[in-house]
Homo-oligomer: A and B are copies of this chain.
Amino acid sequence: MNVRFLLLISAIILISRVGLAQTNQAVIKEDFKPSTLNQPGQAYPQVNSQGYARFKIIAPAADSVRVSLGLGGRGGTILHKADDGAWTGTTEGPMDEGFHYYNVRIDGGKFNDPGTMNYYGSIRWESGIEIPAHDQDFYALKNVPHGHVQQVLFPSTSTNTSRRAFVYTPPGYEKNRSKKYPVLYLQHGWGEDETAWTNQGHANLIMDNMIAAGKIKPFIIVMTYGMTNDVKPGRIKDFKIDSFQNVMINELIPYVDDNFRTIAKQSHRAMAGLSMGGMETKTITLNKPGVFAYYGLLSGGTYAPTDIQDKSTVKLIFLSCGSKERPDGVRNAVTALKEAGLNAVGYISENTAHEFQTWRRSLYNLAPLLFN
């Protein structure tokens, strides 16, 4: 385990939660519209075509209201009270495209914006806002055949409970009753859980759209909780993989192979994860070299050629991150892996940081490379 790498990941997580784009623009266009993640009937929060976010919180008797999105060093976006008792404010600059977590500080307490839906991140259900992206078509809800996302409760004797996983089965799965599919095990990041890849990541819609466009052959995706909640960001190095690895290898995979029509062998099994889920992916794929043939680390570190004991069973190593993270680290690792004879592919998400737009794009770029 590389401690420096893990500390770096921790720092990136903390910094990237700020999520503000680098460019400032002088004139804010007044074309704000409700965020697509708002609760039914809620007009705020809003976003404009430049990526600015505008908030409105009703709390007439409050003394101070602040939103955690915006310029981190200045404590986010401070809202100001209007005559009608509503607190409003706009981010100082445009946000990165895609999804952002946030919360609202009201008189010293941390709450959610009642205008928008909640998403599990930072070990709490946070408010979410969506900044329209130039490439949002690839994860849009379209009139194409849709796969199902199945909530399963699988038995776990090692943790003495039934554990939850979500299983994406592609369109046609219910009808082609003899067809068998490869499986991608896909992990969330620190402070998130098994709901993240579909709720924040739209993994199911990304798959539906690619399958409809003929860009990939259908496969199953399995998402479960990586048991990461008890880890503080600065202490990721203290995380012990054993419990989760046991659940993954000895309980979840057998359950999936027993209850879904999978091609139950290494050559048709992949593991990938974002951020701390990448760290888990790296550790488990290396600890259990006979289980997965495709490895993916999304903003989650790199493999060195010396990490791989048996190159013959590794069909793909996919490394990615946002251009605002450490793209050179990904590029250099891919070069070294290729020189060592491994099939390594790197992907850099332009103008994004340690955030879900990077990971949506990463899945979109990873999926066509799997199971070929």
Contact = CB atoms under 8 A, between A and B. Distances in A.
Interface in A149-198: 149-155, 161-162, 167, 174-175, 177, 198
Contacts of A161: 141
Contacts of A229: 40-41
Contacts of A57: 109
Given A149-B151, A229-B41, A108 B60 contact: yes
Contacts of A369: none
A217 interface: no
A110 interface: yes
A155 B118 CA distance: 26
A159 to B, nearest CB: 12
Nearest to A118: B118
A175 B229 CA distance: 34
Given A39-B124, A124-B39, A125-B118, A109 B155 contact: no
Instruction: Determine the interface band of chain A, counting residues with CB < 8 A from chain B.
Output: 35 or more
A162 B118 CA distance: 22
Given A106-B107, A107-B107, A148-B152, A174 B63 contact: no
Nearest to A117: B125
A340 interface: no
Contacts of A148: 150-152, 167
Interface of A: 39-41, 57-64, 85, 106-112, 114, 117-118, 123-125, 141-143, 146, 148-155, 161-162, 167, 174-175, 177, 198, 204, 208, 229, 259-261
18 contacts: A39-B123, A40-B123, A40-B229, A57-B109, A58-B109, A58-B110, A60-B108, A61-B108, A63-B63, A106-B111, A110-B114, A112-B114, A117-B125, A141-B162, A146-B152, A146-B154, A146-B162, A174-B259
